[in-house]
A and B are shown apart, each in its own frame.
Chain A
Amino acid sequence: MMLGGAALGAGVLGWRLYDWHVNQAAVLAARGAGELLARTELHPRRGTIFDISGDVLAIECSATRVVADPSVVHEESAPFDVANRLGDILSLDPIPIANAISNPRSRYALLARGILDDTQRQLRHAVAAGELPGIRLEPDRVRMYPNGRLGAHVLGFLGERVDRPGDVIGQAGVEAHYDDLLSGSPGLRTSDLDRLGREIPIGRHNLLPARHGSHLTLTLNRTIQHIVEEELEVAVERFSAASGSVIMLDPRTGAILALANVPDYDPARVHEYQSFGPEFANRALSHVYEPGSTFKLVTMAAGLDSKAVTPESTHDLPGTIRYFGEEFKNWDLQTYPDQNMTSVLRHSSNTGAIFVADRTGPDRFYSYIEKFGFGEVSGVDLSGEVPGIVRRRGDRGWFQADLAANSFGHGIGVTALQIATAIGAIANDGVLMRPHIVRSVEHPDGRQAFVRPQEVRRVISSESARELMQMMESAEAGIVNNPAKVDGYRTAGKTGTSEIPIGGRFQSDLSIASYAGFGPLEDPQLLTLVVINRPQEGYFGAFVASPTFQRIMTRVFSYLRVPARAA
């Protein structure tokens, strides 16, 4: 009987063994393999952004983040004690910390991110000494901008990815435009892990290393950027302006040496801003405005190049004219009889510009406007650029009178970058260059790729460009006490003043004052556009923007050791 019982027991056991070892083997083995395998994403290092001299503008640093297991905090201490101690070390208000760890059943709370240096060390000591029960320190990464706000609009900033929380994505400027290059691609480690999360040595292991991000070297020069920002801030403050932008580029290549807007922001502290206000806009390429008289250079270029006028063409520059039913005036309402084309620029005569545009004719005029790059994005490698608004003949809402308004920069929407690029074409022998901010890319494997300056197209002939430059120079020389005059250097430029339409009507006391100029004329290598928006202590470009141009050019010529003209 006992042997029978044993046989029965052994039989049942044997049947079960056979069932599991043989019948269900495949299913069970697969289930087991799936349970062990853990996938860990390996974070790539985001590429560093350098200025043209190799100074760091943006870099990823390893930091620490503070994580709590509230259940342990409650078990081993009191949330308020822990919050007070943490608040001490982190210089944070302990109340929100205490709130975050107030639930004794919760197992996870993120308390602080991006902790660096001394604070990080203090935290380590406190945790090691057991002063912070239930608090863990985990590795974190933080994007550092060592120059603070410098170049904020060029660099942009990072925000959390929507598709992969915990990961970052560039949300403006270079960080956004080059996000794919900078961010690299994550790696993947798949391995069999035991219950404690340790790798099983005899298990499966597969490592696909992360591809780190590429480093970018910009055409931006940190020192020039600093000069530009300083002078722009001074101007905006002095004239109580609402905002302002400066672009400095090398017209020969389209390389942007500096680009600044006021107001600006601190890219490292973006998360502390309540909302994305106007300070986040890169106005130089996202704000559309009426360029005013700076646009007369485009009109004159079109006239000269199409042979509609020559520098010697003369006209009466009447104080007021009617053109297809609309009345147009010179800014000073003065009539200057029998003047040549240089005088149109010197007096910044609206009626003179109308004369040129009319001679050129709408078809040719708008074709030049297009060739200069208006009405479409310049293709700069920064995010947020807009194309502006150009209405040509045949477009809805275009009237013949618009030709007259457009000739002196009204009734047309441009960005500061378009003006700088277009006038750069005049300085560059008539060839339009694509503006760009990245000079070279260093890939993680060490390969370095330089960005070649890109010609967009020839806009006007070399002769027309030279003629126009001479006209600009002599027009400026004819202005008494010209505030744009850079001592020791030959420069040329044009002021601009445009009224601001509010609700379809122009308000007479608010303007956008600008100055675009370049030099030295022997070989123009610096072009600066200053745009001051809504100055309250001034109105005209010559008064508001020209001094800033002069100061910036003087300082940058000196910094770059550009030889002064022999006196």
Chain B
Amino acid sequence: MATRAQAAPRGIRWPPQDPILLLLTVLLPLGGAVMVASARIPAVLGEGAPLDADTIQQMVFGIAGLVVALGLSAVDYQRYERVALPALGIAWLLLLGVYFFSNAPPQLAARRWFVIGEFTLQPSEFAKLALILALAKLAKLFGHRVRDWRIGLLGGGGLLAAVVLPVVAEPDLGTAVTMAAVGLAMLFVAGVRIRHLAVLPIGALAAGAISIAVHEYQRARVVAFLTRDPEVTNTGYQAAQAKIALGAGGVTGRGLGAGTQKFLLPVPDSDSIFAVIGEEFGLVGTGLVLVLFLALFVRGIQIAGSTEDPFGRLLAVGIVTQLTFQAFVNMGVVTGLIPVTGLTLPFVSLGGSSLFASLLMMGILLNVARKSALQRRE
């Protein structure tokens, strides 16, 4: 693999970057910004300007996120070891806090947000990263002892449950499932026995089932998914419109901005943006997105595999699982493989803080890559 280390001009110690990760870090938000602008056409209809404040904000966050990612790629990831556990503590307190003291306007009756002035803070976004850091730290701390069921299953699983359950209770099932998946992947890589791990999905299923039984909108989503009836609920409608979008796009799509399904799709700039890509760029577009996320996953696992430091290895696994699993769920919803969840497509969907958080993780991952045998070998 090529590296630009030798080409760096003297005076600036530009870290040698993993070319594949770097390409993905730039390509995904860039393409995303273009698609957000296109998907926002219905929202800005009749307002005069082609780009509204939300689109511009998205671009600003993207650029800032890229700068931060490149900056973080130069920051030694091992520094985070010390803050990992306190960060999780803070995240956990925020999660409990938001459950009891959320001041956001009731939206789907969920308690997910703090509103601070003009901004909204979603503790679960922060908790995602804190969980990854903490699990990586703990796995390194306990080493081979994770094979003991009391540590692997009770300790790891218990920690996971402590963080995920408040998210389930918010309720934010999509985020909770993603966090649980990330946690399981990390515990698996950390060496927890598979038969111990197998217990966890059973617990997760139980929690999920209770959540679905309690919350009507989730039940509606599941019913809509199972019956495939676009008339049943609004979510059935969402799935039906997404399907039409992909079909209308065909192989090469109708062209950027030329899609019309975004006028019918709910939240075309966020949850449904993959459908907009499908209509405007066809199989070529959606295939490319799929390949990019698959590349991210494969590269991330490769980096993890060539990192000897358990903290760095698990950090890499956690980050790529986090980003790609959420992307997989989002694409799965659009293609009708998974019931409708509120999960966005990382890097692409509208949402400044989410984009920023994703790029922040990419920055950390870039640094892990730099320290990995992959880099040193070349």
* A201 with B45, Cβ < 8 A, contacts A10-B290, A13-B328, A21-B249 known: yes
Residues A20 and B290 in contact, CB atoms below 8 Å apart: no
Q: With an 8 A cutoff between CB atoms, is A35 at the interface?
A: yes
Q: Chain B residues with Cβ under 8 A from A16's Cβ?
A: 335-337
Complex contact B290–A2 (CB within 8 A): no
Q: Which residues of A contact B355 (CB under 8 A)?
A: none
Across-interface contacts of A12 in B (CB, < 8 A): 337
CB distance from A423 to the nearest CB of B (A): 68
**A25 interface residue per 8 A CB criterion:** yes
B45, B243, B263, B294: the one contacting A20 at CB < 8 Å is: B243
A223 to chain B, nearest CB (A): 53
The docked-state distance in angstroms from the alpha carbon of A22 to that of B188 is 38
Instruction: Give every chain A residue within 8 A of B278 (Cβ-Cβ).
Output: 17, 20-21
Q: Give the residues from 1 to 31 in chain A that come closer than 8 angstroms, CB to CB, to chain B.
A: 1-3, 6-7, 9-10, 12-14, 16-18, 20-22, 24-29, 31
Establish whether residues A9 and B260, one from each chain, have CB atoms under 8 Å apart when the complex forms: no
The 8 A CB mask of B232-261 against A (1 = contact, 0 = none) is 000000000001111111110000011011
Chain B residues near A28 (CB-CB < 8 A): 243-244, 246-248
**Contacts A/B (CB < 8 Å), 7 sampled:** A10-B294, A12-B337, A16-B335, A27-B247, A28-B244, A198-B46, A203-B263
Known interface pairs A6-B324, A22-B251, A28-B244; A13-B335 also in contact (CB < 8 Å): yes
Smallest Cβ distance from B168 to chain A, in angstroms?
23
The 5 closest A-B pairs by CB, nearest first: A28-B247, A194-B263, A21-B283, A32-B244, A20-B246
For B264, list chain A residues within 8 Å (CB): 35-36, 194-195
Instruction: Please count how many residues in chain B sit with their CB below 8 Å of the partner chain's CB atoms.
Output: 40
CA distance A20 to B251 in the complex (A): 10
B222 is an interface residue with CB less than 8 A from chain A = no
- Type the 1/0 row for B325-352, where 1 means its CB is closer than 8 Å to any CB of A: 0001001100111000000000000000
Q: Does residue B114 face the partner (Cβ distance < 8 Å to A)? A: no
Kindly list chain B residues whose C-beta atoms are within 8 Å of the C-beta of A22: 250-251, 283
Q: B residues within 8 A CB of A24?
A: 247
CB proximity of A11 to chain B, nearest CB, Å = 10
Which residue from chain B places its CB closest to the CB of A23 in the assembled complex? B247
- When C-beta atoms are compared, the residue in chain B nearest to A27 turns out to be B247
Known interface pairs A28-B248, A29-B250, A202-B258. Does A18 touch B283 (Cβ–Cβ under 8 Å)? yes
**A→B interface (CB under 8 Å):** 1-3, 6-7, 9-10, 12-14, 16-18, 20-22, 24-29, 31-33, 35-36, 192, 194-195, 198, 200-203
- Which among B244, B257, B332, B336 has the highest number of chain A CB atoms within 10 Å? B244
Q: A20-B335, A29-B250, A194-B264 are in contact. Are A14 and B287 (CB under 8 A)?
A: yes
A22 to B284, CA, bound (A): 11
State in angstroms the CA–CA spacing of A489 and B301 once bound together. Answer: 117
CB-based contact B298/A6 at 8 Å: yes
Within 8 A of A (CB), among B25-73: 41-42, 45-46
Q: Which of A1, A3, A25, A195 contacts B250 (CB 8 A)?
A: A25
Q: 1/0 per position for B310-326, CB-CB distance to A under 8 A?
A: 00000001000000100
Across the interface, B247 reaches (CB within 8 A) one of A21, A194, A200, A201, namely A21
Cα-based distance from A26 to B332 in the complex (angstroms): 22
Contact A36 B263 (CB under 8 A): yes
A9 to B290 Cα, complex, angstroms: 10
Query: Closest residue to A1 on the B side, CB-wise?
Result: B188
Besides A17-B286, A21-B251, 10 other CB < 8 A contacts? A9-B328, A12-B337, A13-B290, A16-B337, A21-B286, A24-B247, A25-B251, A28-B246, A28-B247, A198-B46
Q: What residues on A are CB-neighbors of B246 within 8 Å?
A: 17, 20-21, 28
B127 to chain A, nearest CB (A): 23
Q: Which of A18, A25, A200 contacts B263 (CB 8 A)?
A: A200
* Chain A contacts for B126, CB-based, 8 A: none
Q: Which B residue's beta carbon lies closest to that of A9?
A: B328
Q: Whose C-beta in chain A lies nearest to the C-beta of B252?
A: A21
Please indicate the chain A residues that have their CB under 8 angstroms from the CB of B294 in the complex: 6-7, 10
Indicate if the CB atoms of B332 and A13 lie closer than 8 Å.
yes
A20, A36, A201, A202, most chain B CB atoms within 10 A: A20
Asked if B85 is at the interface of the complex by the 8 Å CB criterion, the answer is no
For the complex, give the distance between the alpha carbons of A21 and B263 in Å.
19
CB nearest neighbor in B for A20: B246
Q: Inside 8 A of A14's CB, which chain B residues have their CB?
A: 287, 290
| B157 located at the interface, meaning its Cβ lies under 8 Å from any Cβ of chain A in the complex | no
A32 and B262 CA atoms in complex are apart in Å by 11
| B185 interfacial by beta-carbon distance below 8 Å | yes
For the complex formed, measure the closest distance between the CB of B239 and the CB atoms of chain A, giving whole angstroms. Answer: 12
B297: CB under 8 A from chain A? yes
Write out the residue numbers on chain B whose beta carbons fall within 8 Å of the beta carbon of A27: 247
- Say yes or no for B282: interface residue by CB 8 A criterion: yes
Q: Which of A2, A7, A21 contacts B185 (CB 8 A)?
A: A2
Q: Given that A2-B185, A22-B283, A198-B45 are contacting pairs, would A35 and B244 also be in contact in the complex, using a CB cutoff of 8 Å? A: yes
* Cβ-defined contact, B282 with A21, below 8 A: yes
B185 neighbours in A (Cβ, 8 Å): 2
- Give the docked Cα–Cα distance between A7 and B293 (Å): 11
Nearest Cβ on chain B to A30's Cβ, whole angstroms: 9
Using a CB-CB cutoff of 8 Å, which residues 67-96 of chain B contact chain A?
A: none
Cα distance A306–B337 in the bound complex, in angstroms: 99
The docked-state distance in angstroms from the alpha carbon of A7 to that of B258 is: 32
Point out the residues of chain B lying under 8 angstroms from A9, CB to CB.
Answer: 328
Neighbouring A residues of B332 by C-beta, 8 Å: 13
CB closest chain-B residue, reference A36: B260
Inter-chain CA distance A27–B244, complex, in Å, is 9
- What is the CA–CA distance of A203 and B263 in the complex, to the nearest angstrom? 10
Please indicate the chain B residues that have their CB under 8 angstroms from the CB of A20 in the complex: 243, 246-247, 278, 335
Closest-by-CB residue of B relative to A200 is: B263
Among A18, A21, A32, max chain B CB count under 10 A is at A21
B336 contacts which chain A residues (CB < 8 A)?
Answer: 16
Query: Which residues of the other chain, B, contact A36 by a CB distance below 8 angstroms?
Result: 260, 263-264
Asked if A32 and B263 make an inter-chain contact with CB atoms under 8 angstroms apart, the answer reads no
List the A residue with the shortest CB-CB distance to B325: A9
